[in-house]
Amino acid sequence: MRKKTTLAMDGGTKAVAALGPYTSKIHKEELEELLDLWEYAPGIKDKLTALIEKHAAQLKGPHLFRYYNPRPSKVEQAEQAFAKYIGVKHALAVNSCTSALIAALRALGIGMGDEVIVPAYTFFASAAVIGACNAIPVIADVDDTLTLDPRDVERRITPRTRAIIVVHMRGMPAQMDKLMAIARKHKLHVVEDVAQAAGGTYKGRMLGSIGTMGCFSFDYYKILNSGEGGFVTTNDSWLHTRAQPWHDCAACWRPNRFASERREGELFCGENYRMSELQGAVALAQIRKAPALLKGYRAAKRRIVSKLKLPEGVTLQRVADPAGDTGICLILFMPDVTRAKWALPALQAEGVPAGGIYDHKVKDWHIYVHWEHILEHKSVARDGLPWSGVPAAELPNYSKTMCPQSTELLSRAIMIDIHCEHSAADCGAIATGINKVLAAM
C-alpha cells in the first residue's frame, strides 16, 4: 500500500521549498559585448574586461524591459527628459520615427479613406506611414525653404483631408505660422516630423511642440541617436493615452493592464514599438547632451556662412526662422542645373562634404519622383489598400511631374553637411573650398 502524504495545501511539507538563486541570464558576457561595441583601444578593453570578470559575482545583471523594472526605467527617464527638453506634457519613447508617425496617426484616428498631406521632399517614411495606416498620401510641393509650400498645401485640401505631416527637413524649421493657420481654418491635425531637426525651434518654440503631435527619430544618422529609436510628443493627454496602446500591443502601459478601458477609444489592436532599456539608456544620455551638440552645429554653420562669397545667381536656402535652424547642413541653390552638375564634383574634389539633392537618374528615397510604391498604387495584400479605400476617380492624380516646383528647386540644390565638432579651421577650409569653386564657375 502506498504511504499517504499530506499535501502542502493541507499542511504538509512543500515539495519545492525554494528555487534558485539564479544568476541573471543577461550577465557579464553581454556587458563585454557592449564594451566591444564602444570600441575602446585593445589595451583598455582588456583592462575593463578583466575588471568585469573579477567582479562578476557582484554583477546583478540588467532588467532590459521598460515595464515592471524594479529600478527606475531608463526609457521612462528618457521620456521625462525629452518632454522637458521639447517643452511638452508628454513624450512616448518608441523604436523609430516611422513607428512614432504611425502611432501618432493612429492616435488621431486616421485610417481608410482619409487623406494626409505630405511634402514632395522628405524621407519616404513620412509618406509610407500614411499608406501603412490605410490612408491616402497627398503629395504637396515644397518652396525655396525646401519645406511644405503653404499655398500648395491649401490647394490640395479635399473633404477627405484629415492631417498635414509637416517635415522640418534638413534641420530647418517649416513655415509653422502659415501651416498652422491653414490647419486651423480647415480643422486639420498637424503632425510635425522632426526626425531631422531635434532641438530646432520656430519663433522661440521647440519643433515638435507646435503641432498636434511631434515625431522624432533617434536612428544612427540623426542629431540625437540611440542606434534606433524615436519619440512621440504632445500636449494632448488623450492622444498620448491613445498612442500608448498602439505602441504596446501587449498592453503593459496601464496601471492595471487587465482593467477595462477607462474611456472609450483607449483599447484597440496595436503593434509593438516599445523601446528597450538599452536604447533608453543611450537616448537618455543623448538628450542630456542635446544643448551642447546643437551649440556645436549652429556655431559651425554660422562660421561657414559668415565666410561665404556668393556670386550673383547663387543663393542660400531660405530658412523660415534662421534662429531656429539646427545647423546640420547648408544648402546652396545654383543658378541652373548645368552649373549645379558642374559644381558638385568640383566641390567634392576640394574635399567639401557636398552632395547633390535631385537627379532624376539617381534613385533617392527623399524625393517623391522615386516613390513608385505610391505613384503606382502598390499594395501589400489582395485588399488593394490603401488605394481601394476611396473611389478610384477620387484618388490624387499621382505622376512624376505633379510637384514641378520641388523638382526644379531640388535639381539645382547642393547640400553641404556640417559636423557639430567642426573646428574654426575646418569651417574656414570648407568656406574656402566653396568660394574657390563658385569663383571659378
Which segment (191-199, 277-285, 295-303, 367-375) binds ligand PLP by CB under 6 A?
191-199
- Cβ proximity to ligand PLP: between 75 and 167 the closer is 167
Establish whether 14 is a catalytic residue. no
Contacts of range 373-376, beta carbons closer than 8 Å, 24 or more positions apart:
373/124, 373/128, 373/131, 374/127, 374/131, 374/137, 374/139, 374/398, 375/399, 375/400
Can you list the positions of beta strands (E) in 204-361? Answer: 205-206, 213-217, 230-234, 315-316, 329-333, 354-356
- Cβ proximity to ligand PLP: between 193 and 321 the closer is 193
Could you say whether residue 175 binds ligand PLP (CB under 6 A)?
no
Q: What is the nearest approach in angstroms of ligand PLP to the Cβ of residue 219?
A: 4
Could you say whether residue 123 binds ligand PLP (CB under 6 A)?
yes
Burial of 423-435, coded b for 16+ CB within 10 Å and e otherwise, reads: eeebbebbbebbb
- Cβ proximity to ligand PLP: between 146 and 434 the closer is 146
* Helices 337-349 and 424-439: angle between axes, nearest 10 degrees: 140
Q: Residue 117 forms beta bridges with which residues? A: 138, 164
Q: What is the nearest approach in angstroms of ligand PLP to the Cβ of residue 372?
A: 19
Q: What is the nearest approach in angstroms of ligand PLP to the Cβ of residue 441?
A: 31
Could you say whether residue 167 binds ligand PLP (CB under 6 A)?
yes
Chain centroid, CA 153 distance in Å: 22
Q: What is the nearest approach in angstroms of ligand PLP to the Cβ of residue 35?
A: 26
- Cβ proximity to ligand PLP: between 211 and 433 the closer is 211
Could you say whether residue 219 binds ligand PLP (CB under 6 A)?
yes
* 65 residue type, one letter: F
Could you say whether residue 128 binds ligand PLP (CB under 6 A)?
no
- Cβ proximity to ligand PLP: between 232 and 354 the closer is 232
DSSP string computed for 56-68? GGG------SSTT
As a whole number of angstroms, the distance between CA 33 and CA 28 comes to: 9
Could you say whether residue 125 binds ligand PLP (CB under 6 A)?
yes
The Cβ-side half-sphere exposure at 222, using a 13 Å CA radius, reads 30
- Cβ proximity to ligand PLP: between 125 and 239 the closer is 125
- Cβ proximity to ligand PLP: between 122 and 241 the closer is 122
Cell of residue 431, nine digits = 568656406
Chain centroid, CA 415 distance in Å: 20
The greatest distance separating any two alpha carbons of the chain, rounded to the nearest whole angstrom, comes to: 108
| Helix (H) / strand (E) containing 32 | helix 28-37
Catalytic residue among 3, 45, 54, 222: 222
Q: What is the nearest approach in angstroms of ligand PLP to the Cβ of residue 240?
A: 19
For ligand PLP, which residue of 73, 175, 196, 212 counts as binding (CB under 6 A)? 196
Could you say whether residue 122 binds ligand PLP (CB under 6 A)?
yes
Could you say whether residue 96 binds ligand PLP (CB under 6 A)?
yes
As a whole number of angstroms, the distance between CA 245 and CA 251 comes to: 6
Reference 114, options 105, 124, 123, 126; nearest CA is 105
Chain centroid, CA 74 distance in Å: 19
Q: What is the nearest approach in angstroms of ligand PLP to the Cβ of residue 94?
A: 9
For ligand PLP, which residue of 98, 134, 212, 326 counts as binding (CB under 6 A)? 98
As a whole number of angstroms, the distance between CA 100 and CA 205 comes to: 21
Burial of 385-405, coded b for 16+ CB within 10 Å and e otherwise, reads: bbbbbbeeeebbebeeebbeb
Which segment (189-197, 239-247, 288-296, 306-314) binds ligand PLP by CB under 6 A?
189-197
- Cβ proximity to ligand PLP: between 193 and 431 the closer is 193
Could you say whether residue 357 binds ligand PLP (CB under 6 A)?
no
- Cβ proximity to ligand PLP: between 98 and 279 the closer is 98
The two beta strands, 189-193 and 115-119, are unpaired
No. of H helices and E strands in the chain? 13, 13
Could you say whether residue 147 binds ligand PLP (CB under 6 A)?
no
Could you say whether residue 209 binds ligand PLP (CB under 6 A)?
no
Could you say whether residue 192 binds ligand PLP (CB under 6 A)?
no
Which segment (121-129, 251-259, 328-336, 371-379) binds ligand PLP by CB under 6 A?
121-129
Whether the CA torsion 75, 81, 87, 90 is positive or negative: it is positive
Cis peptide bond N-terminal to 291, omega within 30: no
Could you say whether residue 286 binds ligand PLP (CB under 6 A)?
no
Could you say whether residue 230 binds ligand PLP (CB under 6 A)?
yes
Could you say whether residue 193 binds ligand PLP (CB under 6 A)?
yes
Task: Give how many residues touch ligand PLP by CB under 6 A.
Answer: 14
Active site residues: 222
Q: Where along the sequence are the contacts to ligand PLP (CB under 6 A)? A: 96-98, 122-123, 125-126, 167, 193, 195-196, 217, 219, 230
